[in-house]
Amino acid sequence: MFNSFTGNDACKLIANGAQLVDVRSSAEFSRGSLPNAINLPLQSIMGAKNIIDDDKDVIVYCVTGARSSTAKNYLVQMGFDKVHDLGSFRNYNCE
């Protein structure tokens, strides 16, 4: 499925208070992450309501986009209605 959410879209939302959520493992996150990202590994996604604010936009990302796509689906099923999938961290281009 084509992901129409772009890095530019992410930058606009982040500037307006969106939460950037890295769904990679804690080990991957510790080796580097995007600025101000929250680490919520995919295997822990069911605890999202304790970590991220469901009233704000949420932008999920990983390495290839596979985990972020799955994470988005879980979050939507959990009642988060402002979830966006950046896919790979390489799509991030904010300054």
Q: 58 forms bridges with which residues in the sheet?
A: 19, 83
Q: Distance between CA 21 and CA 60 in Å, rounded? A: 5
Q: Which residues contact 16 (CB under 8 A, 6 or more apart)?
A: 57
> CA of 10: how far to CAs of 14, 58, 81, in Å?
6, 10, 16
Active site residue 94: no
Selected catalytic residue, list 62, 71, 83, 86: 62
Q: Would you name the residues annotated as active-site residues?
A: 62
